[in-house]
């Protein structure tokens, strides 16, 4: 049998790939009979053969992998993704669960690389004001590793909706004019504006948040590779900051010697970060070693879920059952939460569940241990761990369940009734809703029913925001 050549756009051509897959599946053409080529401008009207083939029903997890995989810079990406689709649709529906399968491993690694690249882009794009503009316009130059320009757009629109901005990259450019998004050709570094007053603001900000006791140039370079430094106005400060770090640490130690003894737990916590945890396991080891801030808890209860989950749910603290079992959300509030997640179409196993405070705090009343709310100081004590968890998981969406989680994520005590809905927690898209235990505490059945329905609405929005098709639960490949 001859080889069928499919020509796709040299970029993240999800649309082209989707059409190709439909046609290939309709024709029952196995991967070994296909050859994939990339062109900068494939035929204006596309390949006629690829029209009108019926959609293919793919599991959500596979569609999601494809969405990410097509953004990868490897020229083999489409061939590999088609092999995956072929196997999934030919009897291996649960293929993704076999992590040891070489193809699954390869595609998964590609998807992770793309995710990482997206997070770097979210963190390191810096806008500069364009000179000589009547209206305020901003532009940024950025060099991604993969074809992530389109995939990054929702984040930047969400974050800078009211600004007129352009992001220029060697793989293309995109502009948001406060209403519409448009894509343009590749750019060169010199097309973006350089030094100006906006940069002073960034530098000042960076110097003020830079904690000299944490200077670890190796870790710093790993997190913010040199490659990215040149795009950052604050990078001009980095060598100076490193040089003066030991001086500044001494000054800080002197200053801390006069601080009240109450701060000791926090200092102890910082001291444990001599080696910044690079994985969730390392982070959990630090938490376990630190022990409870308030005595009594059986064990630390760590976050639970996939290492790179799309959604992180942040609760308050473990309860009695969680403390005994060593897992989050397994007691009465957890059971209610499970039910609501199921009804909203969210698979708990695909999400990452954690708490603002990692140990159970309680009052002993006879044989019973009654939950005691953590103080703002206790929440602050645990905060660096939560932030590190988010940094390691790098979710698409962070959900605050109740006031304690919100305090941990924002540093502010805001009533949930006033802040409920979409939010931004630092670099993360966020959502604020009630804690499931609030529903358990409501006095009468009618109020409970109403509050549960509102909670379900929130979870459905969370599900949509995290990227699934609201009707089918599937992602674009299966949809028209
Ligand atoms: N409530 C929380 O906030 N977290 C748990 O893990 C259990 C109950």
For the residues 122-141, what does the mean pLDDT come to? 74
Element containing residue 128 per DSSP (H, E): strand 128-129
pLDDT reading at 43 higher than 90: no
Expressed in angstroms and rounded, the spacing between residue 438 Cα and the centre of ligand 1 is: 11
Whether 201 and 138 have beta carbons less than 8 Å apart is answered as no
Which of ligand 1's atoms lies nearest the C-alpha of 353? Answer: 6
For residue 57, name the pLDDT band (cuts at 50, 70, 90). Answer: confident
Expressed in angstroms and rounded, the spacing between residue 334 Cα and the centre of ligand 1 is: 7
Expressed in angstroms and rounded, the spacing between residue 274 Cα and the centre of ligand 1 is: 30
pLDDT reading at 253 higher than 50: no
For the residues 261-274, what does the mean pLDDT come to? 43
Instruction: Give the pLDDT confidence score for residue 469 in this predicted structure.
Output: 46
Which of ligand 1's atoms lies nearest the C-alpha of 402? Answer: 3
Whether 473 and 460 have beta carbons less than 8 Å apart is answered as no
* Ligand 1 pocket: which of 297, 300, 305, 315 to mutate (most atoms within 8 A of CB): 315
Q: Does 188 or 136 have the greater pLDDT score?
A: 188
pLDDT reading at 246 higher than 70: no
Expressed in angstroms and rounded, the spacing between residue 116 Cα and the centre of ligand 1 is: 29
For residue 193, name the pLDDT band (cuts at 50, 70, 90). Answer: low
Least confidently predicted of 205-214, 284-293, 470-479: 470-479
Q: What is the mean pLDDT of the chain?
A: 82
pLDDT digits (tens, 9 = 90+) for 393-419: 999 999 999 999 999 999 999 999 999
pLDDT reading at 478 higher than 50: no
Beta strands per DSSP E along 352-458: 352-355, 362-365, 368-371, 397-401, 421-425, 428-433
Which of ligand 1's atoms lies nearest the C-alpha of 404? Answer: 3
Of 64, 142, 14, the closest CA to residue 308 belongs to 64
For the residues 125-140, what does the mean pLDDT come to? 72
Ligand 1 surroundings by CB, under 6 angstroms: 315-319, 322, 328-329, 331, 333-334, 355, 437
Helix axes 102-124, 149-159, angle to 10 degrees: 40
pLDDT reading at 458 higher than 60: yes
Which of ligand 1's atoms lies nearest the C-alpha of 316? Answer: 3
Of 391, 119, 411, 379, the closest CA to residue 273 belongs to 391
- pLDDT over 90, % of the chain: 48
pLDDT reading at 170 higher than 60: yes
Expressed in angstroms and rounded, the spacing between residue 316 Cα and the centre of ligand 1 is: 6
Expressed in angstroms and rounded, the spacing between residue 29 Cα and the centre of ligand 1 is: 50
């Amino acid at each position: 049998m001859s080889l069928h050549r499919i020509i796709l756009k040299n970029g993240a051509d999800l649309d082209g790939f989707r059409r190709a897959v439909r046609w290939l599946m309709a024709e029952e053409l196995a991967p070994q009979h296909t050859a994939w080529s990339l062109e900068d401008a494939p035929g204006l009207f596309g390949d006629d053969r690829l029209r009108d083939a019926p959609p293919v029903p793919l599991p959500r997890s596979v569609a999601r992998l494809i969405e990410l995989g097509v953004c990868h810079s490897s020229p083999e990406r489409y061939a590999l993704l088609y092999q995956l689709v072929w196997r999934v649709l030919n009897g291996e529906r649960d293929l993704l669960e076999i992590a040891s399968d070489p193809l699954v491993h390869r595609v998964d690694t590609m998807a992770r690389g793309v995710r990482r690249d997206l997070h770097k882009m979210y963190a390191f794009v810096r806008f500069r004001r364009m000179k000589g503009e009547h209206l305020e316009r901003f532009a940024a130059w950025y060099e991604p590793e993969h074809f992530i320009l389109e995939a990054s757009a929702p984040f930047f629109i969400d974050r800078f909706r009211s600004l007129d901005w352009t992001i220029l990259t060697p793989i293309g450019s995109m502009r948001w004019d406060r209403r519409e998004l448009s894509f343009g050709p590749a750019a060169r570094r010199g097309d973006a504006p350089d030094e100006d007053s906006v940069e002073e603001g960034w530098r000042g900000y960076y110097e003020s948040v830079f904690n000299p006791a944490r200077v670890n140039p190796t870790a710093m370079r790993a997190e913010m590779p040199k490659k990215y430094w040149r795009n950052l106005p604050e990078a001009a400060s980095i060598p100076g900051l490193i040089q003066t770090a030991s001086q500044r640490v001494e000054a800080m130690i002197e200053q801390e010697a006069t601080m009240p003894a109450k701060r000791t737990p926090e200092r102890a916590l910082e001291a444990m970060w001599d080696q910044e945890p690079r994985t969730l396991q390392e982070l959990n080891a630090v938490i376990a070693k630190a022990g409870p801030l308030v005595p009594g808890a059986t064990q630390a209860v760590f976050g639970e879920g996939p290492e790179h989950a799309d959604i992180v749910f942040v609760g308050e603290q473990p309860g009695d059952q969680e403390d005994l079992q060593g897992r989050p959300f397994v007691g009465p509030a957890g059971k209610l939460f499970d039910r609501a997640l199921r009804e909203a179409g969210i698979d708990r196993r695909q999400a990452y569940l954690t708490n603002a405070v990692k140990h159970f705090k309680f009052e002993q009343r006879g044989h019973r241990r009654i939950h005691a709310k953590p103080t703002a100081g206790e929440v602050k004590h645990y905060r660096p761990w939560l932030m590190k968890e988010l940094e390691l998981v790098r979710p698409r969406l962070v959900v605050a369940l109740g006031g304690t989680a919100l305090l941990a994520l924002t540093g502010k005590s805001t009533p949930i009734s006033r802040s409920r809905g979409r939010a931004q927690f630092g670099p993360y898209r966020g959502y604020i809703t009630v804690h499931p235990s609030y529903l358990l505490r409501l006095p009468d059945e009618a109020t409970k029913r109403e509050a549960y329905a509102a909670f379900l609405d929130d979870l459905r929005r969370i599900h949509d925001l995290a990227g699934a098709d609201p009707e089918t639960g599937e992602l674009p490949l299966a949809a028209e």
